[in-house]
Structure 1
């Protein structure tokens, strides 16, 4: 894939140069401000909150596309090369990002690793992470936005990039970022209050290992049917382990994820009598949800209600 990316980056850079006089996206100083391209939904929503009406923010992944196995197309690379700011999550989730921007004009394009400065967690051994004491991209849990303190750092990283690219509106971006971080801090307090008095402290998901940050922040025990990659498959041994855990701990619910085949969760539910509830890791949203104006905050509020039901909170 690396050779393919290098070749496509070179082609994309050439196309961007040829298209230089015909760029359709809003540019710095234009009527709609600067152009920001983000990869996944949380970054898109954070950037929209920070940018307000001063920038055009777009999302690289189409609605409903699972990001773990995403590979950019040539026209995606052209979009990034024509943007003012490109925001990606981290190398663990988007290993193609560094290669993709290598041929870009970095004197013009600001590239933001949104996870810079966040508190990273290794993937536990047995969940696809290998040695749990290593913190390279092969062993890091990429779902950093599900710790809301990390999400605040990501918002700051985005705001800094927009303020650097468009210094005339620096105060506007920083004020928007501060307001949105306040909402994230309040969400964090809602989770702390809402999950403080629960009959159960363990939750199980029949999908990939996506909720480790959330569980860690609120002192919960979390098990998933398969590894970090959504393309992984659960093993019979892992399914048997989860069934035993549900029966041993008297759990009454199992979770399934957005955009993930629910059959694993449904199979475990049939074996144990558990009910299936939904959690959303917010990697992506459906086209209908996007049209309805769903936000990261509203998805996380739904998650809290679902966790409170599954953990039997008072």
Structure 2
């Protein structure tokens, strides 16, 4: 009798799992937006392992199978996941795909003063780009909270199209999360409204073009957002150090999973401190297990800005 009850109790749960939409996302922001929009109705998988660097990620056969069989596949559509197009061309997708870069207006990645040449990119340049030269569209679209809300709504709309019987639930979930992101966006705007000098120096890559554009931030960095380089020239370090000194900038910034050696070097030479700005591109295992979300990570960034800008 006990065995019978146990078996009967498990059957409905198994059936529910089979009925849930399956979503596969290449990067954390897409994963977070999808799980918020889908709620209990969707099973969402993050393809990029926690702590991994997307630019060097190589999908496993199991990853490729998951992409092929899922109901909805979410990916950037940018340079760091160029491997996706190869997969999509070689497999027979059973579901649909949505590119984050198609959900918002795109900005051109740029090479600002003092930044290392854009080696490692493939944008049909015979030589490294000069100051202000266009090097392709910046793929880090979610770093603007306004964009993040728009992408969340686009994901929610697509889930509702795939499962119209539950469209109302997806709409409520989506609007609830998008509204939270928009509230956070207003908090950032209120903060920056009281900041006279919005110049930020990154001793790292700068994948925050959309964030900087939305909040009118002047920035200097060692590398563009998609650069694969990790060791800037002495001239770049000297330029950034002089910029920190000359403009009285109190903090040198670095991004998640960086060894922040460059930021440390600049800060030590200029006599200032360093701080982390989390781009939300990926999270660590501890962050994932602790329930980190796009909103929680950006709230953390706001607090860090208040303490360091």
- 2:285 aligned to which of 275, 284, 287: 287
**Per-residue deviation, 1:230:** 4.9
Question: 1:106-164 CA distances to partner (integer Å, 9 max, x unpaired)?
Answer: 4x311111221312111113553848675xxx611111001112112211221122112
Conserved 8 A contact 2:107-2:210: yes
Residues of 2 paired with 1:63 and 1:230: CA distance? 20
Structure 1, unaligned stretches of length 5 or more?
Answer: 1-25
Contact 2:111 2:133 in 1 (8 A): no
Q: Equivalent residue for 2:6?
A: none
Name the TM-score, length of structure 2 as normaliser: 0.85
- Give the corresponding residue for 1:94: 81
Aligned: 1:222 with 2:219: yes
Distance 2:304 2:225 in 1: 22
> Does residue 121 in structure 1 map to residue 107 in structure 2?
yes
Q: For 1:112, what is the secondary structure of its paired residue?
A: strand
Question: 2:5 maps to what in 1?
Answer: none
Q: 1:229: how far off?
A: 2.6
Partner of 2:197: 200
Correspondence for 2:97: 111
Residues 76, 28 of structure 1: alpha-carbon distance in 2 compared, 3 angstrom cutoff: farther
> For residues 174-213 of structure 1, what are the structure 2 equivalents within 5 Å?
174-213=171-210
Q: Which has the higher helix share?
A: 2
Aligned residue in 2 for 1:46: 33
Whether contact under 8 Å (1:44, 1:59) holds in the other structure is yes
Q: State yes or no: 1:151 paired with 2:138.
A: no
Partner Cα distance (1:94, 1:29) in 2: 32
More off after superposition, 143-152 vs 50-59: 143-152
Deviates more, 1:77-86 or 1:223-232: 223-232
CA contact (8 A) 1:27 1:34 kept: no
Listed one character per residue, the Cα deviations across residues 180-224 of structure 1 (whole Å, up to 9, x for unaligned) are 111111011000001111243101111111112111111111111
Which structure is larger by alpha-carbon Rg, 1 or 2?
2
Aligned counterpart, 2:261? 263
After superposition, what is the alpha-carbon deviation per residue over 1:17-71, rounded to whole angstroms, capped at 9, x for unaligned? xxxxxxxxx9997555111000111111100100000010010011000112222
Q: Is the 8 A contact 2:75 2:81 kept in 1?
A: yes
What whole-Å deviation, never above 9, does each CA across 1:285-312 have from its counterpart, x for those lacking one?
A: 110111111111010011111122222x
Q: Is the 8 A contact 2:153 2:174 kept in 1?
A: yes
Taking the aligned partners of 1:187 and 1:228, their CA distance within structure 2 comes to 23
Aligned mates of 2:172, 2:133 — CA distance in 1 = 38
Task: After TM superposition, give the deviation of residue 92 of structure 1 in Å.
Answer: 2.8
| 2: CA distance, partners of 1:180 / 1:238 | 40
Matched, 1:301 2:299: yes
In 1, Cα distance between equivalents of 2:186 and 2:213: 15
Answering whether residue 158 of structure 2 is matched by residue 161 of structure 1, we say: yes
1:11 maps to none
Corresponding residue for residue 75 of structure 1: 62
Whether the 8 Å CA contact 1:27–1:33 is kept in 2: the answer is no
C-alpha RMSD over aligned residues: 2.1
